[in-house]
Amino acid sequence: MLRNSSTIHQPNLFGTDLLMQLDPGDPLLKLASAIPWQEFEESFSIHYTAATGAPSKPIRLMVGLLVLKQLENLSDEAVVLQWKRNPYYQAFCGMKEFQRRFPCHSTELVHFRKRIGAEGVERIFRMSVGLHGRAALEDTVHIDTTVQEKNITYPTDSKLAIRIINRLNKIGKAHGVSQRRTFVKEVKSLRLAIRHFRHVTKRAKAKRALKRLRTIAGILIRELRRELPQHCLFERYQKDFLLYERVLAQQPKDKNKIYSLHEPQVYCVAKGKDHKQYEYGSKASIASTAQGNLIVGVVSHEQNRHDSHTLPEILRHVEASRGKTVKQAVCDRGYRGMKSMAPESFYRGKRSSEIHATRKIKSANNAEDVQRLSRLSVT
């Protein structure tokens, strides 16, 4: 049930107002006065019921926590803890008096993001872009891609197989299934054998151990499919079992592999850097203005596509977020290949072109190598 935010504030008879004790020139308080909170109240209220359910947290509180989370680069747990300790955080979220309790549980931020969906998050992002006014309407933007890493361990076939076995044993125990074997002791010995996978004389033993782990996982899957009730199997675990079978069947050189059980959409991106050659997550495109370096577009890509194929999507997002098309996009040489969008591209190797590109991007703050940047004229 939606809890309506009161616009009338009655001062505390035995205390002072929170804003009266804080510095009015603090950047957070200035930002709070510039954000149109009432627009979020009106647009997000449709996601709540009017009369049923427990009263919800105020919409301004939840939106403010999401903004603070991104501003300070905090996790859901950390931003809730810092909110309790920081009076400026509380004033930013609309509190009139200092609160001694947590604003909400960290998992409520997850539910709120799911409630408003991608469209709601886009609305918050467009608001942040609109606060900059004319500074966000530059004709030239800088575009680059990076990898948004997921919080997963380094993926190996043995780790995934052992995790599948542990999950299957937990499912059987939760539903009272009388399993013939749990293979707990054997899995421990196989884990030790896999440690020597790179040793010359013990590599064959490690391969046999990995094969045995996959066999054990397959045995447990087939046993649970026989013993679990059909309604429980198809309603709750059928999707998980299909994922487990796909993980057990994949080979080292397969494409579209599963690298994590709780983040199956993660894919591997080869970076080619000395300190980290591979990164596991999702590719993200970022567009920033040339003069002010303001982020005006962010897109997360579900598939690992070439940088040149991600350019149209990020340009559409920039146009939607600020209401103005991009006339010129500055990218690195990884975006080569978009002939239709770059009829006058300049690349390394032509002296006059390099000088021309250098003048165009002289003010770029995020340019790693000026000679490697090219100008993409967008029509």
Of 249, 280, 309, the residue at which a domain comes to its end is 249
Among 28-37, 43-52, 333-342, the least confident range: 333-342
Residue 91 lies in a domain: yes
Task: Return the SS3 of 253.
Answer: coil
Span 297-337, pLDDT tens digits: 999 999 999 888 999 999 999 999 999 999 888 988 888 77
The amino acid that residue 191 corresponds to is R
Q: Do 23 and 46 reside in the same domain of the chain?
A: yes
Contacts of residue 355, defined as CB under 8 A and 6 or more positions apart, other chains included, come to none
Residue 252, pLDDT score: 86
Q: Do 89 and 68 reside in the same domain of the chain?
A: yes
CA angle 84, 107, 151 (to 5 degrees): 105
Contact by Cβ (8 Å): 44, 120: yes
- Count structural domains, the chain: 3
Show contacts of 339-342: CB within 8 Å, 24+ apart: 341/311, 341/312, 341/376, 341/378, 341/379, 342/374, 342/376, 342/377
What band does 23 get if pLDDT is binned at 50, 70 and 90? Answer: very high
For all residues of the chain together, what is the average pLDDT?
85
- Angle of helix 59-72 relative to helix 106-130, nearest 10 degrees? 80
Residue 365, pLDDT score: 45
Whether the pLDDT of residue 377 is over 60: the answer is no
Nearest to 59 by CA among 106, 4, 101: 4
Of 249, 279, 303, the residue at which a domain comes to its end is 249
Residue 378, pLDDT score: 42
Residue 14, pLDDT score: 67
Whether the pLDDT of residue 361 is over 60: the answer is no
Residue 272, pLDDT score: 75
Q: Do 144 and 282 reside in the same domain of the chain?
A: yes
Residue 92 lies in a domain: yes
Span 146-184, pLDDT tens digits: 999 998 999 999 999 999 999 999 999 999 999 999 999
Contact by Cβ (8 Å): 285, 299: yes
Q: Do 275 and 365 reside in the same domain of the chain?
A: yes
> Where in the sequence is the domain holding 83, given as residue range(s)?
19-131
Residue 350, pLDDT score: 39
Residue 6, pLDDT score: 60
Q: Do 140 and 123 reside in the same domain of the chain?
A: no
Q: Do 172 and 307 reside in the same domain of the chain?
A: no
Q: Do 306 and 332 reside in the same domain of the chain?
A: yes
Q: Do 83 and 228 reside in the same domain of the chain?
A: no
Residue 256 lies in a domain: no
Residue 109 lies in a domain: yes
Of 249, 278, 297, the residue at which a domain comes to its end is 249
List, as one string, the DSSP characters of 292-359. T--EEEEEEESS---HHHHHHHHHHHHHHHHSS--SEEEEEGGGTT-TTT-TT---TT-HHHHHHHHH
Q: How many CA atoms lie within 13 A of 323 on its CB side?
A: 6
Other C-beta atoms closer than 10 Å to the C-beta of 339 total: 9
Residue 55, pLDDT score: 82
Residue 379, pLDDT score: 38
What band does 363 get if pLDDT is binned at 50, 70 and 90? Answer: very low
Alpha-carbon Rg for the chain, nearest whole angstrom, is 27
Residue 271, pLDDT score: 79
Q: Do 189 and 50 reside in the same domain of the chain?
A: no
Span 96-144, pLDDT tens digits: 889 999 999 999 999 999 999 999 999 999 999 999 999 999 999 999 9
Whether the pLDDT of residue 367 is over 50: the answer is no
Q: Do 229 and 315 reside in the same domain of the chain?
A: no
Span 70-107, pLDDT tens digits: 999 999 999 999 999 999 999 999 998 899 999 999 99
